[in-house]
Structure 1
Amino acid sequence: MDMSKEYCVVPSEAPEHHPSTLSIINSDVFYSFEDAYEVIKKCGDIIPEATSVMELLPSRAEARSKPDFPVIVIEGLDATGKTTLTESLRDSLGATLLRSPPQCMSPLRARFDQEPPLIRRAFYALGNYITAEQVGQEGMKAPVIVDRFWHSTAAYAIATAVSGPVCNLPAEGSEVYRWPSDLLQPSLVVLLTLDPEERKRRLRDRGQGKTEEEQELDHNQLFRLKVEEAYRRIAGPACVTVDASPSADQVLQQVRLLIRGKCHL
């Protein structure tokens, strides 16, 4: 016996979050020292270098009051002029220059870059807390300039975790973009931006080796757009965007004006 069936297609509401964003918190981005620490601690039996990481960590991470002097973070993709700008700011302001991840973690980076995302992200998250400890000490004596900080760690992780176009990123204001409550907050965050073709030209001129994520930036425009948008959506504090295409002296003067207005230096 033949039976006819009729089907009706009806629209449904779009989901609040794209499915690929559901597992970002504490798997791709860590929002506390303890959560990242627990991941590295559990790796001790299979990754001998995990012990070396834990030896570098501060005894405990607490939400700190801001240091006596301003803390200015310079963010941006590779070849946007961060190194030139941070060194110029150090010299012109009489500041201390720090980097995240800190120099003490450099010998371990190649090892952890080979690990699955959960372990790799926890490693870089803890690098921010080591840098924050250094900032807290140096910021009592002079202004501090930081070459990358938590914004970079989170922006790259979010862009990697979220598949598809930029519109799939969690909406602005999502808890994914919140600043960790136990991590020192900078006084000002400057995001250097640059035309993609100019950035590629600068990268070619440098001829340096790149990480897997930096290589992805070079050939995947969509990934680059997601990283840049994630940077802009992170709050606590939000980034102030500066065009890095003028000369180094012009960019320095523009950032000095920002620092003077925001930090009274």
Structure 2
Amino acid sequence: MKRARVAYAGAIHEAVPAENGLKLNDGRIVEETEVIWLPPVKPRTVFALGLNYADHAKELAFKPPTEPLVFLKGPKTFIGHKAQTRRPADATYMHYECELAVVIGRHARKVKRENAYDYIAGYTVANDYAIRDYLENYYRPNLRVKNRDTCTPIGPWFVEKEDIKDPMNLTLRTYVNGEMTQQGSTKDMIFDIPSLIEYLSSFMTLDTGDIILTGTPEGAVDTKVGDEVVTEIEGIGRLVNTIVGDETFHISNSLQKAVAKLDYNGQE
């Protein structure tokens, strides 16, 4: 089952696909263009993997890690489908990262890899932009690289784990202005999903709503203001995002703040 979270008519709703648009949890049918798409799950602790595909490490001239390279992301980094991501004026190289996002479904501590899928609620698509100008070194992505406001679109759908037969054999693709620039498969992860859950839960507790961003394959290219970037994962969804500059972002920021305030107040 696919479901989304959207803002419509002053409230937050869960929604599912309908023949003529979206069906809200109160039964109303609305067009996709009438809503503001929110992240399909409210992120709690979010773990992001660096260099989890050997081909991506190679294109960045880094050695593949011998243990998971993990860092944390704050909640303000996340935005929804069809939202805008800011490219700072001083950035010379800002690239997308199409990633499978794994959503934890229950309390998990010291999980063995053979039981790891029992702790997963489902999956969504993430696009974790990085500004290479801000990178200090490969083993310590600093805050400005991965924790900027609006730097991580996620969605549009949350897909329950039962609907994904093999999450370790899904095709990932990215399109910039309609041209495919990235293609890979989750089967090429260095550290697969079960091993990541085993690793993280070995020293800390995972809980419902935590998210693991599992890394991106090779094919990351620079994006410019005005670009439309589409990241898609087989069976999960197609996430659309637009790059904007400082001036445009300043104009639209009041609307994003209003939606964030509405979401924070917990109106469901």
Same fold by TM (over 0.5)? Answer: no
Query: Larger C-alpha radius of gyration, 1 or 2?
Result: 1
Specify which structure has the higher proportion of strand.
Answer: 2
TM-score (norm 1): 0.27
